[in-house]
Structure 1
Amino acid sequence: MRICVVALGKIGLPLAVQFAAKGHEVLGTDVDERVVTLVNDGVEPFPGEHELDVRLKKAVADGRLSATTDTVSAVAVSEAVVIVVPLYVDADGTPDFAWMDAATRDVAEGLRPGTLVSYETTLPVGTTRTRWAAMLEEISGLRAGRDFSLVFSPERVLTGRVFSDLRRYPKLVGGVDVASARAGVDFYESVLDFDVRDDLPRPNGVWDLGSAEAAELAKLAETTYRDVNIGLANQFARFADSAGIDVLKVIEACNSQPYSHIHQPGIAVGGHCIPVYPRMYLWNDPGASVVAAAREANAAMPGYAVTRLAEAYGDLAGAEVLVLGAAYRGGVKETAFSGVFGVVGALRSAGAVPCVSDPLYSDEELAALGLTPYAGQEVTAAVVQADHAEYRETGVADLPGVRVLVDGRRITDPARWPGVRRIVLGAPAPAEEAYVTPLRPR
């Protein structure tokens, strides 16, 4: 089969490589000429995706994968088209469809009868049928469900572990009609591998959810659930701070029975998914007060962490404060909706002079993000924003001037911070050492 993958980003490129590994001929398209050139040279355009470098080189060397900026021509010679173009929402939660619209127009211009079109980008419920089907039909002159198949099939992977997640989780598919759904199921069964799991209500593999709308909602629901869960955990942590309770022990105790699965609290919720998709859901369902409250609670955590710092440190005006970690998640070079921006903003509002360091980013890269790189100067306070493994070994010997440390990720070792006021969110101040070793049943 010849497959066109539209947008070779951190999800699209691994997908293209996976399809090629199953013996298909894959044409990847992207508007960025640099990305296209690197892919054709067998060089990964971005670091950090496990196994991508080796797999990409093999796919290109075997002649199974090539890239181009000409989406129209690539679609015209393909039997299946998978679209993974980013969709963002603005500050009010309104989706910005500009990039998706442009990609869809290109697909429509190259579309021919018998082709399967699959959208994997997370979408508001109803978008596949009401927006994309209409646009594809108007431009191509073809009819969805009659002349070509149209499905929505959300990506359900995390950057850094895309290939393992593709095997681990069921692939969800929803068509605009029965024939489209059948074509979508057949396609994904031919391009993916699945691990056998016994803990699922249905066998692992490709699941037909019955409609494009159901598949769209499934993606929004599973991601929104995580945001709501984390929001609740953060509310528990803030109360635990005021009551002198170790919230980590409480959460572990609650999760010891099967009806509770409370997530971990923390200084921020970042990434392309969790901060974004709840707002996309609210665009569909503006009356969802639980979702709105959770999003507000999570967005407030960077400011809360700085408030805790100020309570321990005193007036932050003029204080040199180091923020440890620009990435939104430990070990992943990605700053999409990272808590670093909220923390730095709150520090500046308090009159502090924040700087940032991150083992994954150069000073030039940090500066390009609008952050002030740490230049080795003496700092009197520090805030752990990302849970990079390196911070387990970081201590006062590395930052001898630090008087107060706020650990927003519960990753620092208290033994490495003697003489420093160490604050852990959701942890009582007199017994912070208790949070390094979680409670275990006897």
Structure 2
Amino acid sequence: MNICVVALGKIGLPLAVQFADKGHKVIGADVNEKVVELVNAGTEPFPGEHDLDVKLKKAVDAGLLTATTDTAAAVAQSEAVVVVVPLFVDAEGTPDFGWMDAATRAIAQGLKPGTLVSYETTLPVGTTRTRWAPMLEEGSGLTAGEDFHLVFSPERVLTGRVFADLRRYPKLVGGIDEASGARGVAFYEQVLDFDERTDLPRPNGVWDLGTAEASELAKLAETTYRDVNIGLANQFARFADKNDIDVKKVIEACNSQPYSHIHQPGIAVGGHCIPIYPRMYLWNDPEATVVRSAREANAAMPEYAVDLLAAAYGDLKGAAVLVLGAAYRGGVKETAFSGVFPTVEALKARGAVPYVSDPMYTDEELAAHGLTPHQGETVTAAILQADHAEYRELAASDLPDVKVLVDGRRTTDPARWEGVRRVVIGG
């Protein structure tokens, strides 16, 4: 099968490599000429994705994966098109479809009868049917559901472990009609492998949800659930702080009962997914008060962490504070909606002088994000923002002038911080 993957980012490129690894011929289309050049050379354009470097080189050397900036031409050569173009939203959750509109118009130019088009980018409910179908029809002169098949099939993976997650989780598909759904199922059964699992209501594999709208909602719902769950955990943690209770022990006790699945509290919820998709859901359903409250609770946590620091340290005016971790989560070189930014702003609002360090970033990279890199300046307080594995070994001797450490992720070892007031969220 000839397949086109549109957008070779942190999800799209591993998908293209996965398809090629199954023996299909894949053309990756991307507007970034540098990315296209690196992919054609068999070189991963971004670090941190397990096995991508080896699998990419193997696919390119075998002639099964090439890249181009000409999306229309790539689509014209393909029987299936998978779209993973980013969708941005503003602070209120209003989608900016600019990049996806441009990609869809380019796809339409190369679309031919019999092609399957699958959107994997997370979307507001109804987008596949009411936006992409008319746009593809207008640009191609073809009719969706008759001349070509159209489905929504959300990505459900985490960067850093994409290949493992593709095997582990069921692939969800929903078509604009029954034939499109069946074609989507058949396609993904040919390009993916699945682990055997006994904890699912039906066998692992490709699940047809019946409609594109159901598939769109499934992705928003599963991500919004995580945000709401974390928001609840953060509320418990703040109550525990006021009442001298260790919320970690409480959560462990609750989760010993099979109907309780409370997540862990923390300084921030970052990344491309959890902070964004609940806002996208609210765009569909503005009366969802539970979702809105949870989003507000989680967005307030960086400020709360600085409150904890001020309570333990005293007046922060003029204090040099080191924020440990620019990434939104440990082990991933990505700052999308990272808690580092609101944490730094909250420190500045208190008159503190914030510095940032991160084992995955150079000083130049931190500065490019508008952050002040720590270059050996004396700091008297610290806030751990990202749970990098390196911070488990961090000790008071590494920051000898620090008087107070707020560990926003419960990552540091208390035994290594004797003599320093170590504060964690939730007691």
Cα deviation per residue 1:30-86 (whole Å; 9 max; x = unaligned)?
000000000000000000000000000000000000000000000011000000000
Cα deviation per residue 1:190-215 (whole Å; 9 max; x = unaligned)?
00000000110010000000000000
| CA distance in 2 between partners of 1:281 and 1:379 (Å) | 41
Which 5+ residue runs of structure 1 have no aligned equivalent? Answer: 428-442
Match of 2:62 in 1: 62
Match of 2:210 in 1: 210
Q: Normalising by structure 2, report the TM-score.
A: 1.00
Runs of 4+ in 1 over 4 A off after TM superposition: none
| CA distance in 1 between partners of 2:414 and 2:9 (Å) | 39
Cα deviation per residue 1:64-110 (whole Å; 9 max; x = unaligned)?
00000000000011000000000011011100000000000000010
| CA distance in 2 between partners of 1:96 and 1:390 (Å) | 37
Which 5+ residue runs of structure 2 have no aligned equivalent? Answer: none
* Alpha-carbon distance, 1:224 to partner: 0.1
| CA distance in 2 between partners of 1:370 and 1:198 (Å) | 47
Alignment of 1:237-386 (within 5 A): 237-386=237-386
Cα deviation per residue 1:212-237 (whole Å; 9 max; x = unaligned)?
00000000000000000000000000
Alignment of 1:165-204 (within 5 A): 165-204=165-204
| CA distance in 2 between partners of 1:106 and 1:228 (Å) | 37
Partner of 1:66, secondary structure, is: strand
| CA distance in 1 between partners of 2:277 and 2:424 (Å) | 28
Partner of 1:310, secondary structure, is: helix
Match of 1:134 in 2: 134
Match of 2:88 in 1: 88
Question: Letter of the aligned partner of 1:64 in structure 2?
Answer: L
Question: Letter of the aligned partner of 1:23 in structure 2?
Answer: G
Give the root-mean-square deviation of aligned CA atoms.
0.4
| CA distance in 2 between partners of 1:402 and 1:105 (Å) | 55
Q: How many residues align?
A: 427
| CA distance in 1 between partners of 2:233 and 2:255 (Å) | 12
* Alpha-carbon distance, 1:423 to partner: 0.4
| CA distance in 2 between partners of 1:270 and 1:261 (Å) | 20
| CA distance in 1 between partners of 2:178 and 2:134 (Å) | 18
* 2:140 is aligned with 1:158: no
| CA distance in 2 between partners of 1:372 and 1:72 (Å) | 43
Match of 1:399 in 2: 399
| CA distance in 2 between partners of 1:16 and 1:378 (Å) | 47
Partner of 2:398, secondary structure, is: coil
| CA distance in 1 between partners of 2:42 and 2:261 (Å) | 42
| CA distance in 2 between partners of 1:309 and 1:371 (Å) | 20
Cα deviation per residue 1:270-306 (whole Å; 9 max; x = unaligned)?
0100000000000000000000000000000000000
Match of 2:4 in 1: 4
Q: Between the two proteins, what is the percent identity of the paired residues?
A: 80
Match of 2:98 in 1: 98
Match of 2:388 in 1: 388
Partner of 1:137, secondary structure, is: helix
